[in-house]
Amino acid sequence: MRNGTTDLPVLKPFRAPAPIAPSGFAAPTMLGGGTLAAFAMLFGASLALAQVTARPVGESAVTVLLRWAPLIFQGFLFNILISFLSMALGTVIGVLVGIAQVSLVSSVRKTAWGVTQFFRNAPWLVLLFYAMFLLPFEFRLFGLTIAFPAWVKAIIGLALPVAANVSEIVRGGIRSIPSGQWESAEALAFTRAQTMWMIILPQAFKRMIPPWMNLYAILTMATTLISVVGIQDGLTITRAALVAESRPELMIPMYLLLLLMFFAYCYPIARATLALERRFNVKA
């Protein structure tokens, strides 16, 4: 018999087909580049369309857009600021509630579970409305009057669903650690709190990072909801610019400009999340 030169298909060594999609660093770069190019073309087309359909012909669409771009960008930066602060507040609350969700005390565990489920399954805009209209605009503490401006209330309103989602991420991360870790820590006489902070959470941390980043990207996009409750964010300014110019044909490129800013910010986060997930998967 000739070695390794059989025609019988069953005896041929299995060769995996070459991957169709580019892999490694090429994939995000190419996909990212392609998406950006597509966006740029769409943007250009919308500008051209606006230029052509303008009646009567006034300033060029590009001029108008350039005039408003800095202001819209400032508004966008305000969205980012709100997203930072809500994420920070939501994470602090969410971590505590998430840990409470694996408490040995059943009343604590059930309460934390109930709170998590309630805020996780409520529409973000409705929660935002509640925060805006139920929280006082100022409150007194030891004779001091502390102002509670609308943007602070908005941060609290957005932090509620974020906290509930972080709570689930933390609970899932803790649950993903094998029970043998708890068992051996218990056998070494660690207290439950020590086990949690020194053994379980440090291991669960890296598994929580990708979903947490994903949540942050979603929150950033959701910050435009605050324009509905009367806070001047990027979306409010874009709308005001359109009203001021009263050129309806500019609607598509103007909103697209804001959209591009969000995309440029959120897309790298999404890519990094995927990359991290892949890396942790290989190691696990």
Of the pair 181, 232, the CB lying nearest other proteins is at 181
Q: What is the nearest approach in angstroms of other proteins to the Cβ of residue 198?
A: 7
Site mask for other proteins (CB under 8 A), range 67-106, x = bound: ----------------------------------------
- The distance in angstroms from the start CA to the end CA of the chain is 44
Residue 17 binds other proteins (CB under 8 A): no
Of the pair 72, 204, the CB lying nearest other proteins is at 204
**CA atoms of 85 and 89, how far apart (whole Å):** 6
Q: What is the nearest approach in angstroms of other proteins to the Cβ of residue 105?
A: 17
- Which secondary structure element, helix H or strand E, spans residue 147, and what is its range? strand 144-147
Q: How far is CA 43 from CA 132, 136, 216, 229, in A?
A: 35, 43, 26, 29
The only residue of 202, 230, 248, 268 in contact with other proteins, by rule CB under 8 A: 202
Give bridge partners of residue 146 from the DSSP assignment: 139
Longest dimension (CA), the chain: 98
How many residues touch other proteins under the rule CB under 8 A: the total is: 17
Of the pair 201, 260, the CB lying nearest other proteins is at 201
Q: How far is CA 54 from CA 65, 218, 248, in A?
A: 14, 35, 9
Q: What is the nearest approach in angstroms of other proteins to the Cβ of residue 180?
A: 4
Map the footprint of other proteins across residues 203-242, applying CB under 8 A: 203
Of the pair 20, 187, the CB lying nearest other proteins is at 187
Of the pair 157, 173, the CB lying nearest other proteins is at 173
Q: What is the nearest approach in angstroms of other proteins to the Cβ of residue 283?
A: 8
Q: How many CA atoms lie within 13 A of 25 on its CB side?
A: 0
- Which secondary structure element, helix H or strand E, spans residue 145, and what is its range? strand 144-147
Matching residue, tokens 């990072």: 209
Of the pair 56, 180, the CB lying nearest other proteins is at 180
Of the pair 111, 203, the CB lying nearest other proteins is at 203
Site mask for other proteins (CB under 8 A), range 243-262, x = bound: --------------------
Matching residue, tokens 């502390």: 146
The two three-digit tokens of residue 28, written as one number: 């995000």
What b/e string do you get for 81-114 counting C-beta neighbours within 10 Å, with b at 16 or more? ebbebbbebbbebbbebbbbbbeeeeeeeeebbe
Dihedral (C-alpha) 86, 92, 94, 98: value to the nearest 10 degrees?
A: 170
Map the footprint of other proteins across residues 170-199, applying CB under 8 A: 178, 180-181, 183-191, 194, 198-199
The two three-digit tokens of residue 228, written as one number: 């509905």
Rule CB under 8 A: which residues touch other proteins? 178, 180-181, 183-191, 194, 198-199, 202-203
